[in-house]
Amino acid sequence: MFAVIQTGGKQYKVSANEVIRVEKLDASVGDKISFDVLLICDEDKTVVGTPYVKDAVVEAEVLGQGKEDKIVVFKYKPKKNVRKKQGHRQPYTELKIVSIKK
């Protein structure tokens, strides 16, 4: 069984006992979070929501907060001696999917 959830403007395909990284959420380590379900698929049946599946919930537990590896953003204009170097580390929240309920 798997489900598709939406958080942080992105959609994630999740199944039970899976660990995923999503855009940063305001939650502490150990908190329980529930997500609305866009699609749920069992072995024999698939249900697509309009926009959400009624009475379906994905429950997750927060494992931690962190930052991704640094990426380097380098911009320049040729022949003009214009250079700009920046770094960026995207924050994330690590979640463990506890259960998918229909």
Whole-number pLDDT of residue 11: 96
State pTM to two decimals: 0.84
Taking the chain, what is the end-to-end CA distance rounded to the nearest angstrom?
11
Q: Mean pLDDT over residues 42-57, rounded?
A: 92
Span 4-40, pLDDT tens digits: 999 999 999 999 999 999 999 999 999 999 999 999 9
- Report whether 93 contacts 7 (CB < 8 A): no
| Residue labelled with tokens 């305001």 | 26
Q: What is the per-residue pLDDT across 3-12, written as a single tens digit (0 to 9) for each?
A: 999 999 999 9
Q: Rounded to the nearest 5°, which phi and psi values hold at 16?
A: -65, 145
